[in-house]
Amino acid sequence: MQVDLHNSWSIGPVAIPSRLVLAPMAGVSVQAFRRQGRRYGAGLVCSEMVSCAGLHHKNERTLGYLRIASDEHPLAVQIFGAEPTVMAEAARMVEAAGADLVDINFGCPVRKVTKTGAGATLLEDPDRACRIVSAVAKAVDVPVSVKMRRGLENGSRACLDVGPRLVDAGAATLTLHPRSAKQMYTGEADHALTAEFVDRVDVPVIASGDITSRAKAQSVLATTRAVAVMVGRAAQGNPWVLREIMGDESEPTQEEVVAELILFMRETVRELGEHRATGFLKKFYSWYLGRGRFPRPFKQELVELKTFEEVEERLLAAAPGARFVLARLEEELPQGDEVRLDLPISIYGGG
């Protein structure tokens, strides 16, 4: 049975127009990524994880994460931390910034985060995890969601016990990435566990992990009865996978690829500033131009160029028709009301 990914669903009062969710990814999920994801069919997009301590201390870089554009909605902003009161305060800031959902990170496996008692560690400390969810849910009017892994150790089934408790504490939806924290990104996401998880909780579940094609999305939705699938790595430099998952299998032309990359570069430079964008964007060159789309030496050439103007020139020389696609894309972008808050431009590479 095919699931229609164009069906809308809701988290409390928040309507989500498709069954496809763009994953939060630290160092990737900038505004340009999220806006692009919405254009290509994601019904919900997420910020990368934001430190509640950073928000508490009004850290300039962390506050930069609360910039939300008018065409990103519905959008979840994800926070991480271990102190219920500080998480509640962060959630209020996220709500005030205009996010539609506050998402809580109980999945980050990175030591820098877990050693503070945050992220995936909380799967082994369910009392504290519930206190956090409860404090956050009481602090805001928008729905609260939680994104989690299966547990800390390989084979752990901790999520099956913790999940229902988080719902009792106030989580309106749960996302499961069924790998252990120890696995990081190795092995396979165990969606048989996702199916058990869906049976245990009475809120919508989003399935995350290894969704790389329409066929995989369909099979995970059918076998787990999750309400939606989340796509992460497959969408890096590749919004066309979202289009494919939604049912349009057409491969992008070289012109489309170059136009989307240049638009992404321009938006990211506006968001992060030229200096920070330089390092940030390098990985995107190979993500966009890889997959057999352009020869390998071409990507290397771009990385070695000094300025964004030179990179753009070189890209447009390789696909001259891209300038027309780019002009159309820029024309279609909503104008004005781009940034809801007058905040410093920054990025925190946490996690």
In the complex, residue closest to ligand FMN by CB: 232
Which residue number, 234 or 343, has a Cβ lying nearer to ligand FMN?
Answer: 234
Residues facing 106 on adjacent strands: 148
Our finding on whether 177 is near ligand FMN (CB under 6 A) is yes
Instruction: By CB under 6 A, name the one of 3, 11, 22, 49 that touches ligand FMN.
Output: 49
Helix (H/G/I), strand (E/B), else coil: 78: strand
Q: Which residues contact 248 (CB under 8 A, 6 or more apart)?
A: none
Which residue number, 287 or 319, has a Cβ lying nearer to ligand FMN?
Answer: 287
Active site residue 52: no
Task: Using the rule CB under 6 A, give the single segment among 52-60, 89-97, 136-144, 205-213 that binds ligand FMN.
Answer: 205-213
Our finding on whether 48 is near ligand FMN (CB under 6 A) is yes
CA nearest neighbour of 164 among 135, 187, 198, 116: 198
Q: Where are the beta strands (DSSP E) in 124-278?
A: 144-151, 173-180, 205-208, 228-231
What token pair was written down for 303? Answer: 């990385």
Smallest gap from Cβ 257 to ligand FMN, in A, equals: 21
Instruction: Give residues 207-266 in contact with ligand FMN (rule: CB under 6 A).
Output: 208-211, 231-234
Which residue number, 20 or 319, has a Cβ lying nearer to ligand FMN?
Answer: 20
Q: Chain-centre distance of CA 252, in angstroms?
A: 22
Instruction: By CB under 6 A, name the one of 23, 172, 246, 326 that touches ligand FMN.
Output: 23
Q: Which helix (H) or strand (E) holds 174?
A: strand 173-180
Dist. CA 163–CA 172, nearest whole Å? 11
Our finding on whether 54 is near ligand FMN (CB under 6 A) is no
Dist. CA 46–CA 31, nearest whole Å? 9
State the catalytic residue, choosing from 46, 108, 130, 159. 108
Task: Using the rule CB under 6 A, give the single segment among 206-214, 219-227, 260-268, 307-315 that binds ligand FMN.
Answer: 206-214
Q: Chain-centre distance of CA 264, in angstroms?
A: 16
Instruction: By CB under 6 A, name the one of 11, 20, 22, 25 that touches ligand FMN.
Output: 25
Q: Which residues contact 317 (CB under 8 A, 6 or more apart)?
A: none
Our finding on whether 181 is near ligand FMN (CB under 6 A) is no
What token pair was written down for 272? Answer: 């992060």
What token pair was written down for 59? Answer: 């850290």
In eight-state DSSP terms, residue 40 is T
Our finding on whether 61 is near ligand FMN (CB under 6 A) is no
- Greatest Cα pair distance in the chain: 58
Site string for ligand FMN, 70-99 (x = CB under 6 A): --------x---------------------
Positions marked catalytic: 108
Q: Which residues contact ligand FMN (rule: CB under 6 A)?
A: 23-28, 48-49, 78, 105, 107-108, 147, 177, 208-211, 231-234, 351
